[in-house]
Amino acid sequence: MNIVLVAPEIPYNAGAAGRLALATGSTLHLIKPLGFSLDEKAVRRAGLDYWKDVDLRVWESFDDFQNANPNARLWFLSTKASKGLWQAKFERGDFLIFGRESKGLPEEWTQRANALRIPMIERSTRSLNLATSIGIVLYEACRQAESLD
């Protein structure tokens, strides 16, 4: 699977996404701008001792990412999507796209047929933590694609 973070702001969420990528054999894609540094000192300070093992791709823009992955199956995750996560039919190699912590994804992306939301009790909370959301969606995608034993 592929985890895609668009303009992530919080290094610890990116770190958690990296750990999830390692645990599932997934690739982590970070699309700039980033709200943190990826230099060795910053990564070490954040306690990401496993970061060197993450299959990491950093993109200058979403356009660059799309141009490099023209046949990718994209899933856009947002609390504003109308289709629930359980309606998706995930396949090996899918790209799970998450927006920045403060704003989410651009609204036009959340209206697409391949936009999904994690089911929650109505009015229970505004949203889940980004790292939690990634874990929920990633493991459901891996379960469906039978990519983990």
Question: What span, in angstroms and rounded, lies between the C-alpha atoms of 53 and 22?
Answer: 7
For the cut 90, the answer to whether the pLDDT of residue 74 exceeds it is yes
Could you read off the pLDDT of 30-52 as tens digits, one per residue?
Answer: 999 999 888 877 666 665 778 88
Do the beta carbons of residue 65 and residue 36 sit within 8 Å? no
Mean pLDDT of 72-96: 96
Q: How many CB atoms lie within 10 A of CB 64?
A: 13
Indicate the pTM of the whole model.
0.93
Full set of structural domains in the chain with CATH? 2-145 (3.40.1280.10)
Residue 124 pLDDT: 66
